[in-house]
Structure 1
């Protein structure tokens, strides 16, 4: 009995797959490659964590950059978000945004993790330069929480 050629088997499988998507492709995250952006969106979609919605990593990265790239060399003081219980509003606090970036890193494949880490590392250096250490902060918290803060965002 003749057997099917591999190309014929693949063609049969291709014809069974739909040629359209149910939803449009996710938007690319500014500063990351398309492959890494897709890996981040995949990790966000399959994350069991309450804090991750679609685009939360993009929002966290944008907020982190915006906090660090305001003009002038003066010290910056992170502020608590007005509504820290909401996943969207919590990212207004730059420390929570950095938490979100730290939490998504282990969920990414190695190449995407390395690219996101290469993007975040210079921002971390700038954060250390522009913020002041808090001598009364607890040592168990991540280093970005051990910086002097001021007030509530929007007040």
Structure 2
């Protein structure tokens, strides 16, 4: 059987046209590689439902870091969001921010998932160390919801 020469194959192969973004390229998430940031933005865009507007993971990660950022070893108490119904305000509660991070993890490809887990793991350890356990919390709730909280944050 005769073979086609490589030049003939290259000429007949269709080359895709230029790639254009319908919107500006997404910003890189602080602490993550560009590849992982792009995978996170893609997962947010393709996720079904209304709870993942673009930038939710970035906002949740920033909120989680900000809650744990002040120096010192005093106990910290998460506060419920004043307006927990809307997606933007719900991230005022650090527990909801951690929920958003936990929800996006299974939607990511393996490498991006591993990198995001590596970014969140030290924050989880610090959160566990600086918050106090709530003996009355429901056992079915994730571990970050089973910590003592006080008050409402926001307005």
State whether TM-score is above 0.5.
yes
CA distance in 2, matches of 1:55, 1:85: 18
1:75 offset after TM fit, Å?
0.3
Number of positions where the alignment pairs a residue of Structure 1 with one of Structure 2: 152
Alignment of 1:139-150 (within 5 A): 139-150=139-150
Instruction: Give SS of 1:44's match.
Output: helix
* RMSD across aligned positions (CA): 1.7
Q: Which residue of 2 aligns with 1:8?
A: 11
- With structure 2 as the length reference, what TM-score do the two structures score? 0.92
5+ unaligned residues in a row in structure 2: which ranges? Answer: none
Q: Which residue of 2 aligns with 1:39?
A: 39
Q: Which residue of 2 aligns with 1:114?
A: 114
- With structure 1 as the length reference, what TM-score do the two structures score? 0.92
Matched, 1:70 2:70: yes
1:7 offset after TM fit, Å?
2.1
CA distance in 1, matches of 2:39, 2:9: 30
Q: Which residue of 2 aligns with 1:125?
A: 125
1:19 offset after TM fit, Å?
4.4
Q: Which residue of 2 aligns with 1:137?
A: 137
Instruction: Give SS of 2:41's match.
Output: helix
Q: Residues 92 and 154 of structure 2 are in contact (CA less than 8 Å); yes or no, is this contact kept in structure 1? A: no
Q: Which structure 1 residue ranges, 4+ long, deviate > 3 Å from structure 2?
A: none
CA distance in 2, matches of 1:42, 1:9: 32
